[in-house]
Amino acid sequence: FFLQFFAMSANSSRSTSKQTKTLTGAQTISEAYHESNKLYQKVKSSTLASSSTEYHDLIKDAARSVLKVNQMVETLALFSDNETLRDISSVNLKYLMCDYMYGYLFLNLHDQNHREICIREGLGAVRKFLSRVEDLELMSEQDKALYKRSGQPGPIVSARMEKISRLKQNRKMKSDLDELLKLEKQRAENEGVVDDDDREEDENERKKWILMIKLAVSDSLDHLRFAADELKMLEFRRKREADMKKNGGGGSRSAEGGNILKELKYQSNQKKPPSILHIKNAQDFMHQTGIIPRLGSGGAPNISKGMQTLN
């Protein structure tokens, strides 16, 4: 399906880049990866509207490019199921990012005619990336726990602590990555640009890609949660529309869509929401909540000056 899906825009796309075309020529996998990464970064930094044809074409160009690299990775058998992180050379670490990049692109392809399919394809790639990274023991214990819950938060108290911890962890990794990128830039200015394939023994190169993979893990866990929620909503909408069509029902599709989130929220809990207290002032609040009795039932004590300031 996706080869056909890509082909639909290949002829009409005005944004098909020179880089994408060169992938069909005699090109090394390293060159192919960097060309793909340029398109991927262009998508990430794009200011185009997510619903625009130009943005969709840009994503499809990038996805085709990443898919080509992924096929080269499989053809060259760069990775095996029983290898450890130590077994993977520093120059090959970047190719672990391909599944993440491919998943990211599809999850950001807001084609309303194929949105549900795009989410499923994107989630499949993201899960493949996370599974491989977990096998290589590149996940923290906290990320492993979150991965087992498919990115969904735990109990309220622990979820808050987990969120704060992840933010601190990501901030530290980004800071470390920035330092490594500065060193890489300085080295390039002093010694000239060094090809990736010549950095096998460069410890900083290895650290850089490991940090980038770990940051991609954190981003992927967020994608698992939000994309799964969106998929659930789309499935619910499709089922409702099918039921309405079957029963001969009418109604506005936009009105249906507007009520989906509300219905999902209350479908397993049909209790009425608690009644709203109409509070005039602090003393009225204390009366309505039973903190102090009303006048005529023993008299009301004096309220503190702090509470009086709320009136």
Q: Which helix (H) or strand (E) holds 115?
A: helix 115-135
Beta carbons of 150 and 225 less than 8 angstroms apart: yes
pTM confidence score:
0.69
Angstrom distance (rounded) from CA 225 to CA 70? 25
Query: Cα 163 to chain center, whole Å?
Result: 15
Angstrom distance (rounded) from CA 311 to CA 283? 8
The pLDDT score that the predictor gives to residue 232 is: 87
The total number of residues written for the chain in this structure: 311
Beta carbons of 65 and 19 less than 8 angstroms apart: yes
The pLDDT score that the predictor gives to residue 202 is: 81
Taking residue 131's Cβ as centre, other Cβ atoms within 10 Å add up to 12
The pLDDT score that the predictor gives to residue 238 is: 86
**How do the pLDDT tens digits run along the chain, 311 residues long?**
454 555 444 443 333 333 333 344 578 999 999 999 999 999 999 999 998 999 999 999 999 999 999 999 999 999 988 899 999 999 999 999 999 999 999 999 988 788 889 999 999 999 999 999 999 999 988 899 888 887 777 776 677 888 888 899 999 999 999 999 999 888 888 877 666 666 666 889 999 999 999 999 999 999 988 888 888 898 888 888 888 888 876 544 444 444 444 554 444 455 444 455 555 555 555 555 555 555 444 444 444 443 343 33
The pLDDT score that the predictor gives to residue 20 is: 35
DSSP class of residue 93 equals G
Query: Cα 136 to chain center, whole Å?
Result: 21
Which of 214, 6, 5 has its CA nearest to residue 93? Answer: 214
The pLDDT score that the predictor gives to residue 158 is: 74
The pLDDT score that the predictor gives to residue 155 is: 72
Neighbouring residues of 70: CB distance < 8 A, sequence distance ≥ 6: 98, 99, 102
